[in-house]
Amino acid sequence: MTKADIVNEIAKNTGIDKASVLASVESFMEIVKDSLAKNENVYLRGFGSFIVKKRAQKTARNISKNTTIIIPEHNIPAFKPAKTFVVQVKDGSQKDKK
């Protein structure tokens, strides 16, 4: 499902015009990105959390040059689904197999 599909679905379900829905979706995504960039997690009860994870420093190898490089500690964005979300997805995948 793409962003356009999400906008169409929300517009169809709510009766709000697509331009307003697109602006809302874009605004939501911008707020989430800005919050994570400030190292602030975003919690959506019943859906999940957008969190910042810290990756530890590690040593990597450049095989073509046969050298070792150090990748410094850095932050990455991550999504942690809520338990109800996980259960719903698991139940859905079980129905598909039957």
58 and 16 in a single domain? The answer is no
Q: Is the dihedral of CA 97, 82, 2, 53 positive or negative?
A: negative
61 and 25 in a single domain? The answer is no
3-class secondary structure, 48: strand
**62 is in which domain, residue-wise?**
51-98
Q: Based on the structure, what is the number of domains in the chain?
A: 2
Domain membership flag for residue 2:
yes
Query: Which comes out higher in pLDDT, residue 77 or 91?
Result: 77
82 confidence band (pLDDT: 50, 70, 90) = very high
Domain membership flag for residue 46:
no
Surface-to-core class of residue 39, CB atoms within 10 Å of its CB (0-12 exposed, 13-18 middle, 19+ buried)? exposed
Domain membership flag for residue 45:
no
pTM: 0.77
Q: pLDDT value at position 2?
A: 96
Residue 78: beta bridge partners? 51
**How far is it, in rounded angstroms, from Cα 30 to Cα 44?**
15
**How far is it, in rounded angstroms, from Cα 48 to Cα 98?**
28
